[in-house]
Amino acid sequence: MLYRVALIGAGIISRNHLDAIRQMEQLQAVAVADIDESTGRTVSKQYGIRYYADYREMIVKEKPDIAIIALPHYLHEQCAVWCAGHGCHLLLEKPMALSTAECDTILEAVSKAGVQLMVGHTQHYLPANLQAKALIESGELGKLIAIHDTRHLYYFNENRPAWFLDKKKAGGGILMNLGAHSIDKIQWLTNSRITKVKAALSYEGERGNVEGSGCIFLETSNGVPAVIVQSGYTGVAKDETELIFSRGMIKLISAKGVWVSREGQYEELEPREASDPFVLQFKDLLQAIQSKTEPDSSGQYARSVITALEAVYRSGETGVEQQVDN
Ligand SMILES: NC(=O)c1ccc[n+]([C@@H]2O[C@H](COP(=O)([O-])OP(=O)(O)OC[C@H]3O[C@@H](n4cnc5c(N)ncnc54)[C@H](O)[C@@H]3O)[C@@H](O)[C@H]2O)c1
């Protein structure tokens, strides 16, 4: 079967989805919707698909099998509910929504409509992450003792769309956006859920009203302590996760590779053959649709990332450790 796909939001991430669809025989992109006509028409022309300003009109006219939702975070809930109500399977970009309550509304709509929902937690498909996960699961390095995840990049740069820096529209700053990836990565690598967090945030960005850094201590449901440190201020650049075991360490750098220390010194592993993470993501979605089983990154799973993020912001405000109730 050929699945017809419509894309909602023609912004930065839209091309990753459309490039992946081009590589897949079972998928055909048919249309794109964006309220910004110039952005929408540019993508429409580049990929030879129809353009709509209004996503509702697009869904009604095109009747796609799958809708990809790549909108600002505050629009995820209303768009997901609407598309599910019109019978579309959903690939909804991360973070799932602004709050656990919004996630629940989406989950209810998806369940009522009997469609599949997958949330775009792309960490599950990055080659270095997959290689590190296989090594963790092999047990070769002993017991996983701790995780140290660091992500620094200039978050307030002038090219970042303004909505990302507006708390009401984005739900938060660097932590809501990139912290969502780190929380997901820790949960996914450890096959667990975050159960406790203690966070300290700062608000020193030159634009907007969102946090620009965070230092978070977390615990997973299988007892692994983890630390996430992120900064979005100027002069910073780092994207590394270190996993400390009873018999060694792993360092993984998402776009670069994986290093292992067995004797106290890191050695780079031979990289695996890399597949496009967005192709792997679509393969999982198709598998879920065809087998009528929930994907790895299901709505329920993605909700757990939002629940943990809510606890992070609560802890940042109160200065007190928070339980995460999933
Ligand atoms: N998985 C990843 O690694 C990854 C990477 C980047 C972004 N994202 C996520 O993808 C989503 C989109 O991010 P982005 O960076 O592409 O943002 P963006 O601002 O570049 O794109 C959003 C687009 O939505 C359009 N839009 C806004 N309101 C609309 C409406 N009502 N109807 C139709 N179009 C509308 C905007 O005009 C814009 O073109 C976010 O959830 C973001 O967190 C995920």
Q: Cα–Cα distance between 228 and 155 in angstroms, integer?
A: 16
pLDDT of residue 274: 85
When computed from its CA atoms, the radius of gyration of the chain, rounded to whole angstroms, is 20
Give the position, in ligand 1's atom list, of the atom nearest the Cα of 94. Answer: 41
Rounded to whole angstroms, what are the CA distances from 254 to 5, 68, 120, 208?
28, 24, 16, 28
pLDDT of residue 272: 83
Q: Which residues line ligand 1 (CB under 6 A)?
A: 8-13, 33-36, 39, 55, 70-73, 75, 93-94, 120, 122, 161, 177
pLDDT of residue 158: 95
| Residue to mutate, 12, 43, 82, ligand 1, most ligand atoms under 8 Å from C-beta | 12
Q: Which residues contact 121 (CB under 8 A, 6 or more apart)?
A: 94, 181, 184, 188, 297, 301, 302, 305
Nearest-CA residue for atom 5 of ligand 1: 13
Measured between alpha carbons, how far apart are the two ends of the chain, in Å?
Answer: 36
How many angstroms is it from 163 CA to the middle of ligand 1? 9
Nearest-CA residue for atom 21 of ligand 1: 11
| Domains of the chain and any CATH numbers | 3-121 (3.40.50.720), 124-277+306-323 (3.30.360.10)
How many angstroms is it from 6 CA to the middle of ligand 1? 14
pLDDT of residue 255: 82
Q: Cα–Cα distance between 285 and 76 in angstroms, integer?
A: 18
Nearest-CA residue for atom 17 of ligand 1: 11
Q: Cα–Cα distance between 97 and 104 in angstroms, integer?
A: 10
How many angstroms is it from 325 CA to the middle of ligand 1? 29
pLDDT tens across the length of the chain (326 residues): 999 999 999 999 999 999 999 999 999 999 999 999 999 999 999 999 999 999 999 999 999 999 999 999 999 999 999 999 999 999 999 999 999 999 999 999 999 999 999 999 999 999 999 999 999 999 999 999 999 999 999 999 999 999 999 999 999 999 999 999 999 999 999 999 999 999 999 999 999 999 999 999 999 999 999 999 999 999 999 999 999 999 999 999 988 999 999 999 999 999 888 899 999 999 999 999 999 999 999 999 999 999 999 999 999 999 999 999 88
Contact 50, 30 (CB under 8 A): yes
pLDDT of residue 175: 98
> pLDDT (tens digit, 9 = 90+) per residue, 281-319?
999 999 999 999 999 999 999 999 999 999 999 999 999
How many angstroms is it from 270 CA to the middle of ligand 1? 35
How many angstroms is it from 267 CA to the middle of ligand 1? 38
Give the position, in ligand 1's atom list, of the atom nearest the Cα of 180. Answer: 43
Q: Cα–Cα distance between 12 and 251 in angstroms, integer?
A: 28
What six digits make up the tokens of 77? 């809930």
pLDDT of residue 27: 98
pLDDT of residue 36: 98
Give the position, in ligand 1's atom list, of the atom nearest the Cα of 76. Answer: 41
pLDDT of residue 276: 96
How many angstroms is it from 320 CA to the middle of ligand 1? 33
How many angstroms is it from 223 CA to the middle of ligand 1? 35
Nearest-CA residue for atom 31 of ligand 1: 35
How many angstroms is it from 9 CA to the middle of ligand 1? 5
Q: Cα–Cα distance between 93 and 41 in angstroms, integer?
A: 21
Q: Which residues contact 193 (CB under 8 A, 6 or more apart)?
A: 187, 220, 221, 304, 308, 324, 326
pLDDT of residue 296: 92
